[in-house]
Amino acid sequence: MTVSRRITPLLAPSMLASDFANLQAETERLAGSAADWLHCDIMDGRFVPNISFGLPVLEAIRRHAQQPLDVHLMIEQPQLYLDAFRDAGAANITVHYEACTHLHRVIQQIKKLGCRAGVALNPHTPVWVLQDIAPDLDLVCIMSVNPGFGGQAFIPNTLKKVAELKELLVDAGSEALIEVDGGVNLDNALPLVEAGADVLIAGSFVFNSPDPVATLADLRAQLSAATAE
């Protein structure tokens, strides 16, 4: 199978790594940046061993954001909160395969709300579990670190996993975008896109840099130059 690359991979800085004491400023300075989406990780301290932020903070980000909010629910029983997250500003809602007993039903709930529907897979979860639901998906988020904390090192096997997922989606006739979340930087961004990734989520790499906007611009320039060849 030949994997086709997107002309312009999407960039989604993760707000989990931003300065929570200055969320308005962090959000507003990304308005004119290379960011296509703003990625928001919601953690409940149960599905993952950490608590991040919830509905009121997401609403605050939405008031100042120019980009769509890509909301990643790392929570148990996400089906109970889908309406609330849509109302808080989510354009995309991604739930974890591992958190949903009735995944197809949850995906349909998200679609009925008018949001893009995504499924995230933990590092230990194989891509073949999505074979029967692939045509219904708008997004698949491959976790390239163990979910729950920012700043972790990229898991090298992710490249192989992305390629396997791309093949599965093509075979299923699915147009779902492939997101990669965790440890993304200038060293692995292009290999990920070449493997089939459509959306790159970067947190610490962006917000721990001296100038997040310049860092996003550098990442965009690297990918644009490579995909133009």
41 is catalytic: yes
The one catalytic residue in 36, 70, 138, 181 is 181
The one catalytic residue in 36, 41, 44, 198 is 41
36 is catalytic: no
State the amino acid at position 174 in one-letter form.
Answer: S
How far is CA 73 from each of CA 60, 98, 122, 145, 190, rounded to the nearest angstrom? 17, 11, 13, 16, 27
Q: What is the 3-state secondary structure (H, E, C) of 99-155?
A: HCCCHHHHHHHHHHCCCEEEEEECCCCCHHHHCCCHHHCCEEEEECCCCCCCCCCCC
Instruction: State the chain's maximal CA–CA distance in angstroms.
Output: 47
Listed residue (46, 27, 45) closest to 37, CA to CA: 27
Residues known to be catalytic: 41, 181
